[in-house]
Amino acid sequence: MVNSTQFSEYTTQSKKGILVIYIHQIYGFLKAFWILLFLFIQKFSKFSEVSLTYIYLGVTFVLLFFLVRAFLIFKNFQFKIVNNHFILKKGILKKNALEIPFDRIQNINFKQNIIQQIINVYEVNIETAGSTEAEISIKAMTLEQANALKNAITIFDTSYQKSEVILEEKPLLRIGFVELLKVSLTENHFKSLLLLFALLVGFYQQINQLFESSGNNELVDDFISKNTSAFQASIIVFIIIISILLVIVGLLSSFIRVFLSHFNLTVFIKNDTLEIDQGLTTKKSIVLKKNKVQHITISTNPIKEKLGISFITFTQAESGISKEKKQGIIKIVGCKSVQISAIKNLLFPNENLADFDANQVDSYYKIRLYVRVFLALLFVNTGFYFGVNNPTVFLLNILLLPILVFLTELKFKKRTFLFSDTLLQINYGTIETHQTFLPLYKIQHVSIKQTIFQERKNVADVVFQTASGKLKIPCLKVSEALKMVNFALYKIETSQQSWM
């Protein structure tokens, strides 16, 4: 067994890491310049033998360059552990050194993509609540080495050691194929469609550039103009057909996204931690410590309620990285009420908000929602007026208006909050219902925000700042907002618990 003392001296990752780094570089190159490969295949027969020779030599040079670079990255990527600090040095021409104290380390997660699964190595990600430079990814370690590194980093935390030993043989939650199918049916299909649309737009732009470079851009223009005319001639039929296709595509894309991300989802509960394993093409293993969680959100909707499932989102301290790559949010899908209760008991023991009444936000919030609905309808109809030469399209307002009124009333009704001496619950949502639970000792700062319009109505927003971002209760009477702020400040000042 690998001993943690091996990290007292500078250590490199597994030699298989050279292959992982090499393939990662080639993939990035092909992703950026795939259009050149497409052109090469298209015009392959037109190249002379001399030109092909130079092309092959160029490709060979690029492959060798990436191989040498991968070796240098591997060789110069060295780390060790000294006095409860993780120390890393890396770089080829520009050398970088990084030192992170253990108490700043938030998570140590394992991950495997397809290549790493084939060669049986793990990527170890060390996440902190600090800057972007403190996000470390070790591309290739054996499972034995990865566990030894995790134990070496967490060994200073005695509470973690105790919880590491006690692991239930039976998982708290295990999601199979049928359960994943149920989860996919309850997903936000609009989000899936937006992701697919973004991919198609990017693909179209690159194809369009390809046709322009080859002098055939008039083919694309002719195709668009012909189909635009047909679209204007049969707008209603077109909308119906497209709507049906979008529903089908949305369902399929949601299932694929859920299946790839949450395949074989298994959750174990320990004394003070949750261990989450999931993923198909990219396997992930996350150990979530109780004291690192800032707040959780339980989400459901009418379909989820019928199926008896909810989603739980765990939010940790932000790491300073970009929102696109943010790792501070972890989701467990397909939870039943028993499993939700077990997780809430882990994070908020002996806490019960059922005995407290929910408080509704001020009616000014509803007025603000209706103003936004009016502006959205105005924008849509303006687009119809200038973009579509068919007055029948305005009949869609007859359908849109009652739907928007219903959704606005529903959103206002769900905007409530309640709190005890130690826990704040914020409820919100429209079709989906979200319940966010925030321990009061996790609050770092609380403030009142008020626009000039709110000032006239004597209402204000209360904003709670945590290490994971902001939470807001909108449109409270100023007197109520002041009481809540004073209560939160009192709990912040008197609490002896650490937010991390």
- Is residue 238 within 8 A of residue 394, CB to CB? The reply is no
Regarding pTM above 0.95, the answer is no
Per-residue pLDDT of the chain (500 residues; tens, 9 = 90+): 445 456 888 999 999 999 999 999 999 888 887 777 777 776 777 778 888 888 889 889 999 999 999 999 999 999 999 888 899 999 888 888 888 888 788 778 899 999 999 999 999 998 876 545 447 899 999 999 998 888 888 765 544 444 444 444 578 889 888 888 888 888 766 665 666 666 666 655 655 665 565 555 555 555 555 555 555 555 556 567 766 777 777 788 788 888 998 999 999 887 678 889 999 888 888 888 888 889 999 999 998 999 999 999 999 876 544 444 444 578 899 999 999 998 998 898 877 787 788 999 999 999 999 999 999 889 988 887 887 777 777 888 888 899 999 999 999 999 999 988 889 999 999 999 999 999 999 999 999 999 999 999 999 999 999 988 899 999 999 999 999 999 999 988 888 777 66
d(Cα 437, Cα 294) in Å, to the nearest integer?
Answer: 9
Which residues touch 373 (CB under 8 Å, ≥6 apart)? 404, 405, 408
For the chain, the residue count is: 500
Residue 9: CB atoms within 10 A of its CB come to 10
Surface-to-core class of residue 220, CB atoms within 10 Å of its CB (0-12 exposed, 13-18 middle, 19+ buried)? middle
Query: In angstroms, how far is the first alpha carbon of the chain from the final one?
Result: 32
Please give the Cα distance from 372 to 361 (Å, whole number). Answer: 18
C-beta separation of 500 from 289 below 8 A: no
Residues 6+ apart with CB under 8 A from 246: 193
Residue 336, helix vs strand vs coil: coil
